[in-house]
Amino acid sequence: MRIIADTHCHTIASTHAYSTWMENIHAAREAGLSYLAITDHGPTMPGSPGRWYFKNLKIIPRQVEGVFLLTGVECNVVDFDGTIDYVEDEHKNLDWVIASIHSSTLLTKEAPTVESCTNAWLQIAKDPRVCVIGHCGQPKFKFDYERVIPEFGRWGKLVEINNNSFHVRRDAVINCREIALLCKKHGVRVIVNTDSHFATQVGHAGLALEMLDEIGFPEELVVNSSVERFRQYLKERNIHLED
């Protein structure tokens, strides 16, 4: 299995990533990708882009060097009610919205529990703005997988299998496997992303793909495993790149 789209990538606009749009595009082309989404961080992440960065993404062409481009944001979950730092004025015209939990962007002093994290994800599952559930295998934010995973599928969310977790969140790998097994069990679609913070990572999701292969994960449930599947999801989201 391979991926034809990488839909979780960061640029220097996030300030803790080190490549530009064009460097990521070059890398995507070299990796044989057909689609690339740039998803810099929402406003509660320290060092995140200013409001005009997102408002002006409308100038980005739909295709550069043969790679179709999606404009996006990785929104941060800021509380356990499922609130994300989506800013209507800045983000409403973006193609791609990921929702992720980061310790540094929680605005509540409440300590995470399985119950509170479960509630947050159940609310986000119903949020029509969100496409992707980002790197949700972190042990600190463990939730009731059996209860929530089917809800992600019910509401059309893609569960991210995040290759970066296999490097920087290694304590999450066992949970990533459990989540993938439940997606397999319930027929919930996933998307394999790199969460790249440097251009050489773009399109290279070998560890995530290896794990899916080990558990016999159905390729038809991996939305970015073929151009046809990815196009179908874009159609579902009413995203038109190739008109």
Homologous superfamily of 5-236:
Metal-dependent hydrolases (3.20.20.140)
Does the predicted TM-score (pTM) go above 0.75? Answer: yes
Q: DSSP state, 222? A: B
Question: Rounded CA gap, 135 and 186, in Å?
Answer: 19
- Enumerate the H helices of the chain as residue ranges: 21-30, 51-55, 88-91, 114-125, 145-154, 165-168, 173-186, 206-214, 227-236
Question: Rounded CA gap, 115 and 192, in Å?
Answer: 27
Residue corresponding to tokens 């986000």: 124
Question: Rounded CA gap, 160 and 208, in Å?
Answer: 10
Could you tell me which of 213, 218, 150 has the C-alpha nearest to residue 179? 150
Name residue 190's beta-bridge partners. Answer: 159, 222
* Contacts for 192 with CB less than 8 Å, ≥ 6 apart: 3, 160, 161, 163, 205, 208, 209, 212, 222, 224, 225
Instruction: Give the residue extent of every domain in the chain.
Output: 5-236
pLDDT tens sequence for the chain (243 residues):
999 999 999 999 999 999 999 999 999 999 999 999 999 999 999 999 999 999 999 999 999 999 999 999 999 999 999 999 999 999 989 999 999 999 999 988 889 999 999 999 999 999 999 999 999 999 999 999 999 999 999 999 999 999 999 987 677 899 999 999 999 999 999 999 999 999 999 999 999 999 999 999 999 999 999 999 999 999 999 999 876
Contact 133, 158 (CB under 8 A): yes
Question: Rounded CA gap, 170 and 233, in Å?
Answer: 30
